[in-house]
Amino acid sequence: MITSFSAAQPQNPTTITTTDDQTRSIVWDVTVNFNEPGGAYDYTVFGEAPDARDGPPADAYDVLKPPAPMPPYIRAWLNDNLPFPYNKLWKDYRHYPGINKIWNLSVQWTPSDDASPTTITMVWDSTEINSTEYISISLCTTGGTPLKNMLLESSYSFSCPANIPQGFKIICIANQPPNVPSNPTPSNGSTGVSVNANLSWTCSDPDGDSLTYDVYFGVGSSPPKVASNISVSTYNPETLAYYTYYYWRIVAWDAHGASRAGPLWHFRTASMPNRPPYAPSNPSPANGSTEISVNVDLSWSGGDPDSGDFVTYDVYCGISFPLTKIASNQTGTSHALDHLLYSTKYYWKIVAWDNHQASNASPVWSFTSKTDTTPPSLAITSPKRGYLYVNLLGGIIQRTFPIFFTTLVIGKVDITATSTDGQSGINRVEIYIDNDLKATDYSAPYNWTWLERVPFFPYLITVTAYDNVGNPSSMSRRVWKIL
């Protein structure tokens, strides 16, 4: 680079560009121009190149500031903390790309009278400024107080005293992408994860920017995007499948469009828990049915929702509560009942068990057995028709003789009957003399001893048997009795 200077007013440096300058790989640069009302003028350049260096030692991109011209003049230079003679730079290029960088700028006004102040205006091209990678470029005081947002404004004026350098800083802040999403829940590689699990993670931004997230989730190692631009660090994938591997990844985005993808995580859901058998259903006889045979097969529907489980059943039945378990651990879905009572309401239920000891019970069902309309059988076995019965002196004289034509009783006599009922059973037997109830017997053998002394006269013995549903059966026998 060759630099020449004119002795005429205003003193402006003239840059002669060489081939060496043209071959440099400058990514961006910004020219800052300085002028004042009297026409004095200067400029300086800051920028970046991938092969430039920040700070010492000086490199080919550090261009020395030429010597000062004759007053009046403005002299502006950049300082990159390089040793003399590079402590005043006309052009200062730093390494590209950058994150946060500061260019130190100094401006000095030297008037002809060596005393008068002036107003200096800095001017820059906002198009050049916006071609950089920085999201914030501020012209600041040496203490860092912002004076102008150079991205939005293109000039700054200040009062400049004579011969006293005025310091500024050009502070550039680049957007940094979000940090890598981390701390996944479920943790990476975990197993036994609930099928109702939510995904969560942590992520932050080095610039403090607000973040949004894209969620990639699925059963393959290249999961599809299932959510975009969500502002919270959780995601509900809804109910998952049991014992399945899931893969997921989070891509974080900041407000400036910078993104950072997290690693591919995975987890496996828990095995399906055991489910109890189905509650037994579809009873036969149907619940509440009537006139059911006293010999009946109970049946029902069962099963288990888990493939591979086997089911057994306990059968409970009875006419009162608690019901009696009448069968255990049977594999079939039917059970035979026989010799039930007629005209009786029966209650029953089924308890299903799987091979994991989980159970499920049916409701309590009921049915009523067939109505008993048949009266019981009945026979008077004593006194017999056509016999003479003698029982005197307290049983000392006791004889029985056939006399064929009638029944005759002298003294006391045992009235005895037999009665059976193959349906509901015998409830009681009643014994009458001339329609006068003399005895009621509830268990076999059914008998009553006739001890009364009565005048010689014909009497009517009547025996009536009742079954357990109230069906009666009667038999009568006329006898002559004395004493």
* pLDDT tens, N- to C-terminus, the chain (483 residues): 334 333 333 334 434 333 345 456 899 999 999 999 999 999 999 999 999 999 899 999 999 999 999 999 999 999 999 999 999 999 999 999 988 999 999 999 999 999 999 999 999 999 999 999 999 999 999 999 999 999 999 999 999 999 999 999 999 999 999 999 999 999 999 999 999 999 999 999 999 999 999 999 999 999 999 999 999 999 999 999 999 999 999 999 999 999 999 999 999 999 999 999 999 999 999 999 999 999 999 999 999 999 899 999 999 999 999 999 999 999 999 999 999 988 899 999 999 999 999 999 999 999 999 999 999 999 999 999 999 999 988 878 889 999 988 999 999 999 999 999 988 889 999 999 999 999 999 999 999 999 988 899 999 999 999 998 899 999 999 999 998
The CA distance from 411 to 454, in Å, is 9
Q: Tell me, yes or no, whether 275 lies in a domain.
A: no
439: containing domain: 377-482
Burial label, 18 (beta-carbon count in 10 A; 0-12, 13-18, 19+):
exposed
Q: Tell me, yes or no, whether 347 lies in a domain.
A: yes
Select from 369, 396, 426 the last residue of a domain: 369
Q: What are the phi and psi torsion angles at 128 (to 5°)?
A: -65, -40
Select from 242, 269, 296 the last residue of a domain: 269
Looking at the fold, whether 290 and 362 belong to one and the same domain comes out as: yes
- Give yes or no for a contact between 461 and 406, defined as CB atoms under 8 angstroms apart: no
The CA distance from 142 to 169, in Å, is 6
The CA distance from 131 to 117, in Å, is 35
Looking at the fold, whether 289 and 228 belong to one and the same domain comes out as: no
426's tokens: 């015998």
Looking at the fold, whether 244 and 99 belong to one and the same domain comes out as: no
> How, if at all, do strands 265-269 and 296-301 pair?
unpaired
Looking at the fold, whether 476 and 381 belong to one and the same domain comes out as: yes
CATH code of the domain covering residue 226: 2.60.40.10
Looking at the fold, whether 135 and 34 belong to one and the same domain comes out as: yes
Output 331-334 pairs: Cβ under 8 A, ≥24 positions apart.
333/280, 333/299, 333/300, 333/301, 333/302, 334/297, 334/298, 334/299, 334/300
Q: Tell me, yes or no, whether 446 lies in a domain.
A: yes
Looking at the fold, whether 141 and 220 belong to one and the same domain comes out as: no
- Give yes or no for a contact between 1 and 16, defined as CB atoms under 8 angstroms apart: yes
Looking at the fold, whether 354 and 300 belong to one and the same domain comes out as: yes
Looking at the fold, whether 438 and 315 belong to one and the same domain comes out as: no
- What would you report as the CA-atom Rg of the chain, rounded to the nearest whole angstrom? 58
Looking at the fold, whether 422 and 356 belong to one and the same domain comes out as: no
Q: Tell me, yes or no, whether 103 lies in a domain.
A: yes
Select from 269, 299, 315 the last residue of a domain: 269
Looking at the fold, whether 54 and 132 belong to one and the same domain comes out as: yes
Looking at the fold, whether 362 and 397 belong to one and the same domain comes out as: no
Longest Cα separation, the chain:
180
Structural domains of the chain, count = 4
